[in-house]
Structure 1
Amino acid sequence: MLTTSEKIIVLLERRKMNKSDLAAAIGTTRQNLGNKLSRNNFSENDLRKIASALGTDLRVDFIDRETGESI
């Protein structure tokens, strides 16, 4: 299973974008984005901005193990 950072890198390659392009699109610096990628540390808000910039949808689900309900 890929980490979130690895998934973002795959999407960057598919979109023929680099980290600087993505950083500009989400309103941050390349250094800040690089730090988040190296630590694999993103807020949900970060991920929503990244998903939008990469032309993808983001899905975050919590699944109740007892009921199987998506929350």
Structure 2
Amino acid sequence: MDIPKKIKLATTYAGISEAELARRLGSSSQAFGQRMKTGKFSSADLDKIAAALGAKFQCSFKFPDGEEV
């Protein structure tokens, strides 16, 4: 699943619209919509989105031996 789809699911779960998320991030809904179309978000962007949703963003590689990077 790509990042924009995950963000859409997260906003639905949090009970807010993408426009409200954009407002919480200090962005216009048009600018945020454009970012959603390109799907280009940095790790810092995803942390800010998670905080605005009251969540935590986790991204890692987990190996069979339990090591997580």
**How many angstroms apart in 1 are the aligned matches of 2:15 and 2:68?**
34
Residues 18-57 of structure 1 aligned to structure 2 (within 5 Å): 18-57=17-56
Q: Structure 1, unaligned stretches of length 5 or more?
A: none
**How many angstroms apart in 1 are the aligned matches of 2:22 and 2:8?**
13
Question: TM-score, normalising length from structure 1?
Answer: 0.78
Question: TM-score, normalising length from structure 2?
Answer: 0.80
% identical aligned pairs: 29
| Residue type of the alignment partner of 2:4 | S
Which string of whole-angstrom CA distances, capped at 9 and with x for unpartnered residues, describes residues 33-61 of structure 1? Answer: 10111111101111011001111111122
Aligned length: 68
Structure 1 residue ranges, 4+ long, deviating more than 4 angstroms after superposition: none
Q: Structure 2, unaligned stretches of length 5 or more?
A: none
**How many angstroms apart in 1 are the aligned matches of 2:67 and 2:14?**
34
**How many angstroms apart in 2 are the aligned matches of 1:9 and 1:36?**
13
